[in-house]
C-alpha cells in the first residue's frame, strides 16, 4: 500500500498573484501517518503545483515536470509558461489513463498575468479564473470560496481566503489536518513560501472571525 493523502488543496487568483494552500496531514489507510507532509512544490521561478493523492505518483510526476521545465528553457531560451506546463501534465496523465497515476494537481503561476489550472488523474485540463480546489475536503473548501471570493482580491485577501477554505476542511474532514497550513504565493517576483509564523497570523485571524 502506498502513502496517500486525503487532503485539501486550494488555489486562489488575486489581482497580481496566485495563492496556493494545502493542509499538512498525510494518511495511510485509516492511519494518520504524517502531520507535516509537503503538498506544494515549486516547479520554476514562476510556477508551483499542489498535489492530492498518492505521494509516490505525485513526486514522480513533479520530478519530470521540473526536468522538462529546465530542458524547455535550455532549448528555447525562455521559461515555460503555466499553460504549457499544465498541458504537458495533462498529456502525461491522459497517456497513462488505462493504468492511471493516482494524483490530482492544481498548477498556478504568472505569465505575467496570474494563471490557474486543475488537472485530474485522467488528464482533464480545467482553466480556472477565480479559484480551484482538490482532495477530500473539496466540498467544504468550495463552500467558503463560492461565498467569499471577489474579483481583484489583494494578495493579503487571497491568502486569508485560502487559509479560511483549508481551515474549514481541517475542522470537518477527517482526512484533512496536520500541524498547520502551507501557503505559497506566486507573483512576477517569483515563488514565495510563507513561514509557519506568517501562516499562524492568518489562521488566528480566521479563527477569531475577523473580516
Convert the pLDDT of each residue in 97-145 to its tens digit: 888 999 999 999 998 899 999 999 999 999 999 999 998 888 999 999 9
Cell of 52: 492530492
| pLDDT, position 3 | 41
| pLDDT, position 124 | 94
| pLDDT, position 190 | 96
| pLDDT, position 4 | 44
DSSP 122: T
| pLDDT, position 33 | 66
Residues 191, 62: Cα–Cα separation, whole Å: 16
Strands 181-187 and 26-28: unpaired
| pLDDT, position 30 | 67
Number of H helices, E strands in the chain: 5, 12
pTM over 0.85: yes
Convert the pLDDT of each residue in 46-84 to its tens digit: 999 999 988 889 999 999 999 999 999 999 999 999 999
Q: Is the pLDDT of residue 45 over 80?
A: yes
| pLDDT, position 112 | 87
Helices 55-76 and 82-95, axial angle in degrees (round to 10)? 130
Residues 151, 59: Cα–Cα separation, whole Å: 33
Instruction: Find the mean pLDDT for residues 3-29.
Output: 84
| pLDDT, position 1 | 32
168: Cα within 13 Å, side-chain hemisphere: 20
Q: Residue 50: beta bridge partners? A: 40, 106
What separation in angstroms does the CA of 73 have from each of 11, 44, 108, 135, 146?
25, 10, 18, 32, 37
On whether the CB atoms of residues 52 and 103 are closer than 8 A, the answer is yes
- Which residues have a catalytic role annotated? 7
* Most confident among 36-40, 72-76, 204-208 (mean pLDDT): 72-76
Give the chain's domains with CATH numbers: 8-207 (3.60.20.10)
Q: Is the pLDDT of residue 177 over 80?
A: no
What separation in angstroms does the CA of 139 have from each of 120, 132, 166?
16, 11, 11
What separation in angstroms does the CA of 192 have from each of 34, 47, 76?
24, 11, 26
Amino acid at each position: 500500500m502506498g502513502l496517500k493523502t486525503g487532503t485539501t488543496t486550494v488555489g486562489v487568483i488575486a489581482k497580481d498573484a496566485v495563492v496556493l494552500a494545502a493542509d499538512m496531514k498525510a494518511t495511510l489507510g485509516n492511519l494518520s501517518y504524517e502531520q507535516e507532509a509537503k503538498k506544494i512544490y515549486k516547479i520554476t521561478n514562476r510556477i508551483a503545483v499542489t498535489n492530492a493523492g498518492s505521494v509516490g505518483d505525485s513526486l514522480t510526476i513533479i520530478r519530470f515536470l521540473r526536468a522538462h521545465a529546465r530542458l524547455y528553457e535550455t532549448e528555447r531560451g525562455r521559461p515555460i509558461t503555466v499553460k504549457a506546463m499544465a498541458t504537458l501534465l495533462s498529456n502525461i496523465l491522459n497517456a497513462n489513463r488505462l493504468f492511471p497515476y493516482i494524483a490530482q494537481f492544481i498548477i498556478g503561476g504568472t505569465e505575467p498575468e496570474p494563471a490557474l489550472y486543475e488537472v485530474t488523474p485522467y488528464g482533464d485540463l480545467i482553466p480556472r479564473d477565480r479559484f480551484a480546489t482538490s482532495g477530500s475536503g473539496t466540498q467544504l473548501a468550495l463552500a467558503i470560496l463560492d461565498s467569499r471570493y471577489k474579483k481583484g482580491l489583494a494578495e493579503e485577501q487571497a491568502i486569508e481566503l485560502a487559509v479560511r477554505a483549508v481551515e474549514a476542511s481541517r475542522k470537518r474532514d477527517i482526512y484533512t489536518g496536520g500541524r498547520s497550513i502551507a501557503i505559497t504565493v506566486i507573483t512576477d517576483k517569483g515563488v514565495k513560501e510563507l513561514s509557519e509564523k506568517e501562516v499562524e497570523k492568518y489562521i488566528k485571524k480566521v479563527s477569531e472571525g475577523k473580516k
